[in-house]
Amino acid sequence: MLISGSRGQYEYIIVEKRGENKNVGFIQLNRPKALNALCDGLMKEVGYALDAFEADGEVGAIVITGSDRAFAAGADIKEMQNRTFQECYGGNFLAHWNRVSTVKKPVIAAVNGFALGGGCELAMMCDIIFAGEKAQFGQPEILLGTIPGAGGTQRLTRAVGKSLAMEMVLTGDRINAQDAKQSAFELTLAEGNRLEKRLFHATFATDDRKEGMTAFVEKRKASFQDK
């Protein structure tokens, strides 16, 4: 069981048991230089830690958090930019992220700083969100020529309502913790994840998705051609 209370067992996260009775599983995303960007290795480690905590009879609840600056600023775009439609569709890209939402024990997201793209989706997979005053939520995938691919279009609609969710997804605009609270930022199980995943995979067949992610990595403005 990979619970050691140290960084030794994991590369991208810190895993501990906390509380007076050591009955709270604690997972801290730990890629500070990348603002906790959710690379494949990090999400696999989160899955391993969740499996271990779920099997641990002493653990009654699990907390996932990041840093003061960023819960998670999104998926790792450098890792994604050269993927093809065939790779995404054939390999069911991002499917393992859903492990967070299937844990039987309560999972709490403690969010401060950026929770954008995949970071926002990760928070919404949790059962409860505690958001700090500096928390910012957003789905800016449109700015990269793609769409949310890990539940964003489904959970966000149920969390903040259709109108605000559409505004966030179609513009890439962010909301802060106060806006989220006023919009009843509560989480439900997404029913449309399968359709969303297929549409997300389909964006990897477009030139604009490749251009958007390449421009992000190269720190320049994207030149979209609507194809």
Distance of CA 87 to CAs 3, 31, 46, 91, Å? 33, 26, 23, 6
* Separation of alpha carbons 22 and 213, rounded Å: 42
Catalytic residue among 16, 45, 121, 211: 121
Instruction: Assess contact for 108 and 90: CB atoms under 8 A.
Output: no
Determine whether 141 is an active site residue: yes
| 118 catalytic residue (yes or no) | yes
Selecting among 25, 52, 115, 141, the annotated active-site residue is: 141
Q: Within 10 Å of residue 133's Cβ, how many Cβ atoms? A: 8
CB 71 within 8 Å of CB 33: no
Tokens describing residue 87: 């790779």
Q: Which of 75, 150, 165, 180 is catalytic?
A: 75
**How far is 21 from 196, CA to CA, in rounded Å?**
41
Catalytic residue selected from 118, 151, 152, 212: 118
Q: Which residues are catalytic?
A: 75, 118, 121, 141
